[in-house]
Amino acid sequence: MIRRQICDSSAVFISVARRITSPTSTSSRYLSSCSPEHELVSNKSSFGSPTRVQKLIASQSDPLLAKEIFDYASQQPNFRHSQSSHLVLILKLGRSKHFNLIDDVLAKHRSSGYPLTGETFTYLIKIYAEANLPEKALRTFHKMLQQFNFTPQPKHLNRILEVLVSHRGYLRKAFELFKNARLHGVIANTRTYNILMQAFCLNDDLSIAYKLFGKMLERDVVPDVESYKILIKGFCRRGQANGAMELLEDMLNKGFVPDRLSYTTLLNSLCRKTQLREAYKLLCRMKLKGCNPDLVHYNTIVLGFVREGRAMDARKVLDDMVTNGCAPDLVTYRTLIGGLCGQGMFDEGKKYLGEMISKGFSPHFSVSNSLVKGFCGFGKVEEACDVVELVVENGERLHSETWEMIVPMICKEDESEKIKQFLEDAVKVEITGDTRIVDAGIGLGAYLSSKRQMKRKNVRERRHF
């Protein structure tokens, strides 16, 4: 209630206060006594305590009104704003983009006798970062040195660099600032180098990033996991997997434990460069180096082997997954079955289809279609029908193309009209982008199953006679 009174009366206070000539006026006494904490009035001023004025400034939604209160209080005899009042007002003006008024507040801050702390400049840089003003952030660094005789701290340098490198046109200015900072006694830390290395890697200037890494070592700045991760990713982006591997070895030799993303990036790069042997060896070393391979790592290797037509090696990786307690997922099975089918190993593919379904995964229609197509191509109708039954019995639906391949293989020519009717029923619903068979296909599956049983019975009877 009292806070609401202060906020509601602040505008009136500004207009009335200018007509106050006596420090014992009603408004002055009000400001001195309305605090619920009964704060003491400054010994040197009857205007009110700096804490009370700071709360009044902080409560204003209008930054210009807050500035007016600040200015009026500054004019009172023997009154001195608290440091918090300056910081609160700087934030209010900055977030409302009244940047020109900020300089005036800084000047009053300096004249008040308070020493400018790093926190003030941290707020100022934050304001310019949020306002997307890299040039003003850069000028803040020089203002700290030239106007306020304040040596920026590494955290100030780093925050300004972050603002600059987020704008591609300011990358060179960021680099110049980095080089000049040392001349002004601002010592770059690991975070400083990481910011610049990341920026140059993203700008495709890998050589400069790597030189910065060398400078770190020369100046006894210890790189961290992030430093190595940035460069490993940079080398991989350029297709230089061997350079990335050298960095990984250096990292391990110095006792660092690479994170999962570093391994994922490197494994993917090795697979794309068809260095599958090195990729598999790295996968095996991960656990020994304190990082258990996860699903993404295994799937990366499986895909790498499949792309190179080495589905049996991919199958071995899947077996390793299970042995090491990492369960294959839908992507693992789809990739492996696709690879097996691509190499004509349909029996193996069928085995993994059954395993996939038994674990609750729903096969994409392309998986069953590849298997049926492969079996039909080799005249293995029984195996093709096994695939159809397995999929349909588990409530999955088949692509219309799959039905069109399998039906003529098991039905007699004189039943062509009946086949036609079944196919018409199967595709009578509008086919959408994923094109899967409609519910009528389940009936067709049952029909095909009965036809197979009849054919088997006829074969047994002929053998008996």
Q: What is the DSSP letter of 132?
A: T
List per-residue pLDDT tens for the chain, 465 residues long: 334 444 444 444 444 344 333 343 333 433 444 443 333 333 344 467 888 998 999 999 999 999 999 888 888 888 888 888 888 898 899 888 898 898 888 888 777 777 777 888 888 899 999 889 999 999 989 988 888 888 999 999 999 999 999 988 999 999 999 999 999 999 999 999 999 999 999 999 999 999 999 999 999 999 999 999 999 999 999 999 999 999 999 999 998 989 899 999 999 999 999 999 999 999 999 888 888 899 999 999 999 999 999 999 999 999 999 999 999 999 999 999 999 999 999 999 999 999 999 998 988 888 888 999 888 888 888 888 888 888 888 877 787 888 878 777 766 444 555 455 555 555 544 444 444 444 444 455 555 556 556 656 665 655 555
Q: Which two tokens stand for residue 113?
A: 């006798």
What Å distances lie between residue 218 and 223, 242, 310, CA to CA?
A: 11, 24, 45
Instruction: Tell me how crowded residue 227 is: count the other CB atoms within 10 A of its CB.
Output: 23
Per-residue model confidence (pLDDT) at position 205: 95
Q: What is the DSSP letter of 413?
A: G
Instruction: Tell me how crowded residue 154 is: count the other CB atoms within 10 A of its CB.
Output: 15
29 CB burial (10 A radius; 0-12, 13-18, 19+): middle
What Å distances lie between residue 341 and 10, 274, 311, 376, 398, CA to CA?
A: 79, 21, 9, 12, 17
Claim: this prediction has a pTM higher than 0.85: no
The span from the CA of 140 to the CA of 181, in Å, is 13
The span from the CA of 387 to the CA of 369, in Å, is 9
Instruction: Tell me how crowded residue 167 is: count the other CB atoms within 10 A of its CB.
Output: 15
Q: Which two tokens stand for residue 40?
A: 């003491």
- Taking a C-beta distance cutoff of 8 angstroms, is the pair 159, 126 a contact? yes
CA angle (342 as vertex; 340, 348 as ends), nearest 5? 20
Buried b (16+ CB within 10 A) or exposed e, 270-301: bbebebbebbbebbeebeeeebebeeebbbbb
> Which amino acid makes up residue 455?
K
455 CB burial (10 A radius; 0-12, 13-18, 19+): middle
Per-residue model confidence (pLDDT) at position 26: 34
Per-residue model confidence (pLDDT) at position 413: 41
Q: Which residues contact 174 (CB under 8 A, 6 or more apart)?
A: 161, 164, 165, 196, 199
438 CB burial (10 A radius; 0-12, 13-18, 19+): middle
Per-residue model confidence (pLDDT) at position 454: 63
Per-residue model confidence (pLDDT) at position 295: 95
Buried b (16+ CB within 10 A) or exposed e, 367-403: bbbbbbbbbbeeebbebbbbbbebbbeeebbbbbebb
Region label for 417, one of left (φ > 0), alpha (ψ between -120 and 50) or beta (otherwise)? alpha
Helix (H) / strand (E) containing 327: none
